[in-house]
Structure 1
Amino acid sequence: MTQSEYWNRITNKAKSEDRPFFSLAPMEAVTGSVFRRVVAKACAPDVFYTEFTNALSITHPIAKKTTKGRLYIDPLENPKPIIQLWGNNKEDFAKAVAEVEKDGYEAIDLNMGCPDIAVIKNHSGSDLIRHFDTAQEVIDGARETDLPVTIKTRLGYSEVDEYKTWLPFLLKQQAPVLTVHLRTREEMSKVPAHYELIDEIVKMRDELAPDTLLQINGDIMDYQQGMQLYKEHPGVDGIMIGRGIFQNPFAFEKEPKEHSSEELLELLRYQLDLYDEFVAKGIPGHFAPLQRFFKIYVRGMKHAAEIRNDLMSTKTTDDARAIIDKIESNGYDN
């Protein structure tokens, strides 16, 4: 399967419905197999990504053991997620892509926008925006595979205007998809995404890489907001939602509707059950990261702050289920 064939498979349905393709953003300690399946149950996007993973760790004799959990794909996941890799060494990527292809992954995304300071100190993620030569080596290393290789980045590192040189460099790589988070690394999420630049970026793409699909990321909370951007900015092909999923696990619903507390608690029970299954498979898992999801399910409930505090004090999934039982028996109304 060629790079364009893979993405044609993903985008054909979206095009037939006169909409962009939608994806859930790769998020550290969030978009593992368990939560991907939770989102799929609520309402699945067209594309899922894994948590971002260090390319070096994929084949490192010791570090590869720690990637087992973040790279796990459940047999029931359909479509399979795209693996997102970060790093700064061509050889690391060449080895990694060969390994993940054997593991059944069908596509690769390169992280060139992560603002995390530890990643930047590793001269990776958004630090690559300041080092075109290293970015080129990463791309070349990742392309030592037949799998589609896409890129996710930010507008610049320190200044917004850096997009005028950085994005053309990336577009000239003729990747099947370029995802642009519409902020710089320095801006983090402290300012609104720069939607005012979308049309200019579309024009860049049309001139330099007309076959590259352009996906937009930043401050998009749900399907409806994504569709509005799509209509306002012709030429955008994809919409990526990140933090919006923490506001609403049903963010990808085409027809928004109110969801009851019962539905949300059922979804939380489902995540707890999947987590137990995950651990039972012998895959390393820690309860603490699971706690970051609790706020998703209790937002808007009566006594939400108290419920969340109680959930955050739990140590096991059974403890969390006991809290759910208390909610369902109106225990918080006493």
Structure 2
Amino acid sequence: MTSFWDNLPQPFFILAPMEAVTDVVFRHVVKKAAAPDVFFTEFSNATGWVYAGDRAIAGRLVKTDDEHPLVVQIWGGEPGDMEQFAAHCAKLGFDGIDINMGCPAKSAIKSGGAALIRQPDVAVAAITAAKTAGLPVSVKTRLGYTYVDEWREWLGTLLAQDLANLTIHLRTKKEMSKVPAHYELIDNIIKLRDEIAPQTLLTINGDIRNRVHGEELFAAHPGLNGIMIGRGVFSDPFCFRASRVVPQKKFGQLYVGPEFFSDGTRETNRKSAPTEETKIPVVDHKQELIKLLNYHLDLFDRYQPTLDRPFETLKRFFKIYIRDFDGAKELREQLMNTKNTDEVRQLINSN
């Protein structure tokens, strides 16, 4: 099956699926800042939807027509439920289906997520079931459940399923995010992919800061296809930009991000873009972050009747925007005491 995966630039960049983060609101914020090549939704439970309908997935499938390609991430261990839910997602117009086989959360491993690493037969059945929907199926997983050396047998099983894309978070379930990602295994994983399923695209995830860092990894590991960024977007909402210099404290270095044409549109054809990096100086990083936060607030208000998410859930995002400028800590503390978006706007626009 040919799909959007076959027409992506190399390397392609993906916004990682993050629970209670990558909803329709935040995806549009990232798109405004600097769009990745592929968006993923939050993950939704197939069995929950089969038995309780849309109320079980709490707005996780809400999307708009300007989010392409958009992959819906689903999870579960019952193949019949996966088949029904995948068919539903196809009817909603998603571009692909990704199966979560790596989430380490206790709620997920009861019937899916990283638990499938220990249940390869169930994992294979889930993939087969999802494929009946007619959309390209991909998988996001980890190296293993407990030990790093589980990777070869586990990834080999997945690669034998003719996936469109395999994303590997380069840690085990047990390691969570407490140790550095195992970049030393990338070349061996590429070799395994080439032996078993050269047609399957290979994406890595874990500790990737921004587009420049991802491109460095791509150049260092021939055969790699994609880069997925998750937590990096919390340190830099502009992390998918290709050639921008902004001070970044957390990683102790400069980060870069996108070229724009003179009319303000984004450079998207990186295959024909100049190889020499053009660094665009930041005139006022604070104001750029505040502007993006205002956009986030507007979207939150717009989608609140549909998503029905409490205002308190918005507060986890403040640290993305209120950072790296004088007085940021104090302002962030004040924002944590606000009770609605109007109070947030009043505070940030008066500072």
- Answer yes or no: same fold by TM over 0.5: yes
- Corresponding residue SS for 1:178: strand
What is residue 292 of structure 2 aligned with on the other side?
267
What is residue 157 of structure 2 aligned with on the other side?
169
What are the equivalent positions in structure 2 for 1:32-43 lying under 5 Å apart?
32-43=23-34
Q: Which runs of 4+ in 1 moved over 4 A?
A: none
Work out the CA distance in 1 between the residues paired with 2:164 and 2:310.
Answer: 36
What is residue 86 of structure 2 aligned with on the other side?
97
C-alpha contact (below 8 Å) 2:47/2:82 kept by paired residues: yes
| AA at the equivalent of 1:163 | W
Structure 2 unpaired stretches of 5+: 247-281
Q: Does 1:126 align with 2:118?
A: no
Cα deviation code 1:53-109 (max 9, x no counterpart) = 10123333x35224252110023x231420000110001101101111111112100
Q: Does 1:285 align with 2:285?
A: no
What is residue 63 of structure 2 aligned with on the other side?
73
- Corresponding residue SS for 1:119: coil
Cα deviation code 1:192-236 (max 9, x no counterpart) = 000000000000000000000000000001001000000100000
- Corresponding residue SS for 1:229: helix
Question: Deviation at 1:240?
Answer: 0.3
| AA at the equivalent of 1:55 | A
- Corresponding residue SS for 1:48: strand
- Corresponding residue SS for 1:184: coil
What root-mean-square deviation, in Å, do the aligned CA atoms of Structure 1 and Structure 2 show? 1.2
Work out the CA distance in 2 between the residues paired with 1:286 and 1:105.
Answer: 26
What are the equivalent positions in structure 2 for 1:195-234 lying under 5 Å apart?
195-234=183-222
Work out the CA distance in 2 between the residues paired with 1:322 and 1:178.
Answer: 45
C-alpha contact (below 8 Å) 1:150/1:177 kept by paired residues: yes
What is residue 330 of structure 1 aligned with on the other side?
none
- Corresponding residue SS for 1:114: coil
Work out the CA distance in 2 between the residues paired with 1:49 and 1:99.
Answer: 17
C-alpha contact (below 8 Å) 1:86/1:110 kept by paired residues: yes
What are the equivalent positions in structure 2 for 1:132-171 lying under 5 Å apart?
132-171=120-159
Comparing 288-297 with 265-274, greater Cα deviation is found at: 288-297
The two structures have a TM-score, normalised by structure 1, of 0.91
| AA at the equivalent of 1:175 | L
Work out the CA distance in 1 between the residues paired with 2:146 and 2:240.
Answer: 32
Work out the CA distance in 1 between the residues paired with 2:342 and 2:53.
Answer: 31
| AA at the equivalent of 2:61 | L
Q: Does 1:44 align with 2:35?
A: yes
Q: Does 1:24 align with 2:15?
A: yes
What is residue 266 of structure 2 aligned with on the other side?
none
What is residue 112 of structure 1 aligned with on the other side?
101
> Among residues 50, 54, 78, which one is paired with 1:64 in the alignment?
54
| AA at the equivalent of 2:72 | I
What is residue 87 of structure 1 aligned with on the other side?
76
Q: In the comparison of the two structures, how many residue pairs are matched? A: 314
C-alpha contact (below 8 Å) 1:59/1:99 kept by paired residues: no
> Are residues 283 and 123 of structure 1, via their aligned partners in 2, closer, same or farther at CA, if it must alter by over 3 Å?
closer
> Among residues 6, 9, 19, which one is paired with 1:8 in the alignment?
6
What is residue 300 of structure 1 aligned with on the other side?
324
Work out the CA distance in 2 between the residues paired with 1:66 and 1:139.
Answer: 22
C-alpha contact (below 8 Å) 1:73/1:80 kept by paired residues: no
Structure 1 unpaired stretches of 5+: 328-334
What is residue 234 of structure 2 aligned with on the other side?
246
Question: Deviation at 1:303?
Answer: 1.7
C-alpha contact (below 8 Å) 1:287/1:315 kept by paired residues: yes
Work out the CA distance in 2 between the residues paired with 1:270 and 1:119.
Answer: 32
| AA at the equivalent of 1:221 | R
Work out the CA distance in 2 between the residues paired with 1:155 and 1:68.
Answer: 30
Question: Deviation at 1:324?
Answer: 0.8
Work out the CA distance in 2 between the residues paired with 1:72 and 1:44.
Answer: 19
